[in-house]
Chain A
Amino acid sequence: ILNVEQSPQSLHVQEGDSTNFTCSFPSSNFYALHWYRWETAKSPEALFVMTLNGDEKKKGRISATLNTKEGYSYLYIKGSQPEDSATYLCAFTTNSGNTPLVFGKGTRLSVIA
């Protein structure tokens, strides 16, 4: 069974704080790791897709790193703003067969002004 673990489950930070969360996944047969942001009452929106060990991606104040050998990815948000409040989902796929994205439970971030 493919399992993706995300921590923490939820997080409250003050506006301006920087924060980070973790996604752990099986390291064998890895193909790609996706991060999505899901704001309340909206659709999940892709942030990053990473495939190579050591990949680092950045979009504005948000960045992500990938370690495929040990099976984890970090998502960083610098200088959190209230509009960053959302659930951040990670999902991975393997190169074993034709498998769909397997999602974690997400980290719910609340940024307090």
Chain B
Amino acid sequence: GAGVSQSPRYKVAKRGQDVALRCDPISGHVSLFWYQQALGQGPEFLTYFQNEAQLDKSGLPSDRFFAERPEGSVSTLKIQRTQQEDSAVYLCASSLALILRAGELFFGEGSRLTVL
């Protein structure tokens, strides 16, 4: 499709399980972002890629969170040893803009993670 695609849409994990969330951005978009939206909160920045380079990972809440974009297209957000506080909607967005502050973000529908 023409938009940002995320999978799975819904994931239920047992505490301690590892999960992987996938994002397929719009073709040609060099910038890719991951945001986390916990219940009752706004989207919080996690990390940013420009092509395959991870330029900012300051928002990743712990070393259990890891993101990659090895070929500058599809990205995967991995969460190891999930905890209940990881339950959230994980949003992926892509942009044509090289500079973070410029340009519109195009979002996927999100992956809703529930950790039991």
Contacts and interface: CB of A to CB of B under 8 A. Distances in A.
B109 interface: yes
B42 A43 contact: no
B33 A4 contact: no
B94 to A, nearest CB: 11
B90 interface: no
A34 B104 contact: yes
A88 B1 CA distance: 25
A103 B43 contact: yes
Contacts of A45: 107
Interface stretch (A12-20, A59-67, A72-80, A90-98): A90-98
Given A34-B104, A93-B100, A95-B101, A43 B109 contact: yes
A103 B100 contact: no
Interface string A85-113: 00001010111001111111110000000
Contacts of B55: 98
User: What is the size category of the interface that chain A forms with chain B?
Assistant: 20 to 34
B62 interface: no
Q: Is the interface of B mostly helix, strand, loop or mixed?
A: loop
Interface residues of B, number: 25
A105 B41 contact: yes
A41 B108 CA distance: 10
- Among A42, A98, A100, the one with the most B-chain Cβ atoms within 10 Å of its Cβ is A100
Contacts of B48: 100
Contact of A101 (B3, B40, B105): B105
Contact of B108 (A43, A98, A106): A43
A22 to B, nearest CB: 14
Contact of B101 (A31, A41, A42): A31
Contacts of A42: 109
14 contacts: A6-B42, A31-B102, A34-B104, A41-B109, A43-B4, A43-B91, A43-B110, A46-B104, A46-B106, A93-B100, A94-B101, A100-B48, A100-B100, A103-B35
Interface of B: 3-4, 33, 35, 40-45, 48, 55-56, 91, 99-102, 104-110
